[in-house]
Amino acid sequence: MPYDFTTFIDRRGTYSTQWDFVQDRFGKANLLPFTISDMDFAIAPEIQQALEKHVTHGIFGYSRWNHADFKEAIALWFSKRFTTTIDPNTIAYSPSIIYSCAQFIDLYTQEGDGVVVQTPCYDAFIPLIEGRNRHLIANPLRFDGTTYHLDLIDLAEKLPRAKAILLCNPHNPTGIIFSPEELSQIVALARQHDVAIISDEAHMDLVFSPHQHTPICAVWGDYPKVVLATSTAKGFNLASLGGSYLLSNDPTIKERFNQQLKRDGLSSPPILAILATISAYHQAEAWLEALLTQLERNRALLNDFFTQHLPQLQLHPSVATYFAWIDISSLHLSSAEVQQRLINHGLAIMKGETYRQESPLFLRMNIACPPSKIHQSLIQMHQAFG
């Protein structure tokens, strides 16, 4: 492997949410953290060089995103990774994916309206919807004891009460992806009920072969009430640079979004984010492939250990994201007891209830780290539950 995903890089003392602020969430400092969506890996050297070049240049004045270099890099990426042709004119810059989701909820719905979410769900979706006085309508993923499935029948029943669907594909926290057929059916149902779709595809680059991510724009046809929000933050570990983008084939609503961005004083992009995105899409595909290989190895490490030494813990067969979604119901402990044992044994791992997964009990463990950190966690987990 030409890239290094095994050397441990100490992130402590870098204002890292994952490492330096673990006490905020777990009530104790210095836990080994497997929490928020970022990686303990250094970024692709190609992106690092692009950033260093600009840092050396030394000027960080205002920048713009509406140029061919940014838009064509995105179009190229969708073409080569997802075999999807996109019109560069459908692209708009947004400061963050969550900002896009928030603004499009405001644009497509009114207070009191329903917004459908597949549960369990990414925790930030909950305040995003409920904080805007919209109704979160759960469309629970069906758990068959092994994996999760989209419930289209339940979705069809709930859409008459909704004005928008906030989709998450690949799905955080379960790591499933929606097939082109499922997505086409979601679009057909949305069209039938005149419901908008806001598709958060933050984890689109983290899908394990032979599975393939299908962006919603590949199936939206001529239905205009769909927006795709994504970025390089997850796949290339660039979250704190800021910046993201969206695709919409409705010029009117895209213009309303751009006007809102101006009103909020957020229309100037951070230059380092723009450069990083262009570099990622042109230069870092090989790094991403190597990363995916490492993530699969980490999953295998966890799976083998659970099978041999901790059979009460069951790894959900995810095909995307760097989250291990772990069924802990066979421990026959309450979630509070599980958390207490993990914390007592020095581990910070997210509980399933954070994502509205109440029963059976799950943990969401971020495994985007060198294998040595996974090994260490397994020793501590074995002490906690073995």
Task: Please say which residue, 3 or 148, places its beta carbon nearer to ligand PLP.
Answer: 148
Of the candidates 96, 46, 18, the residue with the CA atom closest to the CA atom of residue 287:
46
Kindly state the number of chain residues that form the binding site for ligand PLP, as judged by CB under 6 A. 13
Q: Which of 22, 43, 44, 98 binds ligand PLP (CB under 6 A)?
A: 98
* Residue 239 interacting with ligand PLP (CB under 6 A): yes
CB of 173 to ligand PLP, least distance (A): 8
* Residue 35 interacting with ligand PLP (CB under 6 A): no
- 10 Å Cβ neighbour count for 3? 18
Restricting to residues 135-194, which ones interact with ligand PLP according to CB under 6 A? Answer: 168, 172
Q: Which of 3, 26, 34, 122 binds ligand PLP (CB under 6 A)?
A: 122
In this structure, the strands spanning 142-143 and 323-327 are: unpaired
Task: Name the token pair of 12.
Answer: 């402590």
The CA distance from 54 to 50, in Å, is 7
Distances (CA, A) of 111 to 102, 105, 131, 135, 224: 13, 10, 10, 8, 22
Q: Kindly write out the interface string for residues 244-273 of this chain, putting x where it contacts ligand PLP by CB under 6 A and - elsewhere.
A: x-----------------------------
Distances (CA, A) of 317 to 48, 178, 303: 33, 14, 10
* Residue 200 interacting with ligand PLP (CB under 6 A): yes
Judged by CB under 6 A, the stretch of 17-25, 92-100, 296-304, 358-366 that binds ligand PLP is 92-100
* Residue 231 interacting with ligand PLP (CB under 6 A): yes
CB of 384 to ligand PLP, least distance (A): 26
CB of 291 to ligand PLP, least distance (A): 16
Please identify which residue in the block is written with the tokens 């990083």: 276
Contact partners, residue 51, CB within 8 Å, separation at least 6: 272, 275, 276, 279
Task: Name the token pair of 237.
Answer: 């570990």
| Interface positions with ligand PLP (CB under 6 A) | 37, 96-98, 122, 168, 172, 200, 202, 231, 233, 239, 244
